[in-house]
Amino acid sequence: LLPLPMSLPLFLTVSILSYRIPLRRVYPGLETLNSLRGWGKPTVPPSLGVPSSGDNPVFVPLSNYMNVQYYGEIGLGTPPQNFSVIFDTGSSNLWVPSIRCHFFSLPCWFHHRYNSKASSSFQPNGTKFAIQYGTGRLDGILSEDKLTIGGVKSASVIFGEALWEPSLVFTLAHFDGILGLGFPILAVGGVQPPLDLLVDQGLLDKPVFSFYLNRDPEAVDGGELVLGGSDPAHYIPPLTFLPVTVPAYWQIHMERVKVGTGLILCAQGCAAILDTGTSLITGPTEEIQALNAAIGGFSLLLGEYLIQCSEIPTLPPISFLLGGVWFNLTAQDYVIQIARGGVRLCLSGFQALDIPPPTGPLWILGDVFLGAHVAVFDRGNLTGGARVGLARASPLRAGPQGGGSAQAQFSGWRPG
């Protein structure tokens, strides 16, 4: 990959007509705080998308469940059958539960199911597929139909109809399926990822997308996914750009992690991925144990750490050195506060996860990190490789909400 500038001011800002898609937030229980990931070794580099010349981003509103699940709505078929999906940068397939799922597959009974017979645009495929996640697997068949996302309609997409979901995490989830935004090399069955097909079919101008995740549990909107660009109203410029070091997951180089003015982690530099499908920040066991000890965390049986809520005002900031810039999290950012029945529970946003070589070891910067920052994911073009732009999220949370058209400012992309 070509080296990219580590700090790039936003010189380019143009006005565009756009559509927005919202996100929702839910708290499913401790077990779903774990990473929904299966890790594998990339074998060949994926091809990068080539952006077209127009400016037509798609805005997808997100819903937020208690800061640990963010999801938005898509449609499949004609007329569209609606599904809530996690927009996941750690995988590359689109799948939803099927009306034909196994009788004993519990998640199917609690979620919307795709019915091919109710769609006039359904095209059979029938190829079997299986996806292995960190907490279980799912099996099904591939099908082809029309995808509706934001203001974009009639995109032909090959997706998975899940027939068997044995994992409890999918039963409890507030989303129906997953829409992967990782690189093509991660796609099971060689299926073209949704982002690539939108670009190839001329429905999206650039292989760029961005997330802002609203961390205010009282807010109506849960955040926003912008396909094709970013909205500067969501962040405080400039964006700091980092090259993607391994184009499979959105993997970058992290120079250091600092807890307050004392503890230093990742001292020699380390690998990290930006993953919207993981609720917490994870890292190697030894380092996460040291970090949680430094903030007074008490270990729980499920691998989470309990924090005394009364100590939050005194806890130190935790800072990540990325591209020569420090990205800071306050205790309000990294402590997950759960209030139920008059009882408040506070959990550390840091959890141990040892990912073996050759993929690991690495850190996963999940929603705890991404909620405090806006991330712009750029697959690159013929003149430059993939990169990620980061900036502190705007405290104003400005910007129009809901479906339909709206004027927005688009920036943070590399012309050419």
Largest CA distance in the chain: 62
43 three-class SS: coil
What's the full length of the chain, in residues? 416
Residue type, 56: N
**Could you give the CA distance from residue 138 to residue 170 in angstroms, rounded to a whole number?**
10
CA angle 203, 209, 210 (to 5 degrees): 145
Catalytic residue chosen out of the listed positions 88, 176, 333, 367: 88
33 three-class SS: helix
Q: Where are the beta strands (DSSP E) in 192-323?
A: 208-213, 223-227, 240-243, 246-247, 250-254, 256-259, 263-265, 270-274, 281-283, 298-299, 305-306, 318-322
Taking the alpha carbons at both ends of the chain, their separation in whole angstroms is 16
Has 354 been annotated as catalytic? no
CA angle 40, 46, 51 (to 5 degrees): 140
Has 88 been annotated as catalytic? yes
Comparing CA positions, the residue from 264, 245, 236, 393 lying closest to residue 323 is 245
Residue with tokens 């990219």: 4
Contact present, 28 and 174 (Cβ < 8 Å): yes
Q: How would DSSP label each residue in 159-226?
A: EEEEEE---HHHHH-S-SEEEE-S-GGG-GGGPPPHHHHHHHTTS-SSSEEEEEE---TT-S--EEEE
As a whole number of Å, the CA-based R_g of the chain is 20
Comparing CA positions, the residue from 199, 264, 219, 178 lying closest to residue 67 is 219
Residue with tokens 């994911």: 377
Residue 80, both tokens: 């569209």
**Helix or strand run (H / E) with residue 62:** strand 58-65
Catalytic residue chosen out of the listed positions 205, 231, 275, 333: 275
Give the residue numbers annotated as catalytic, written as ranges. 88, 275
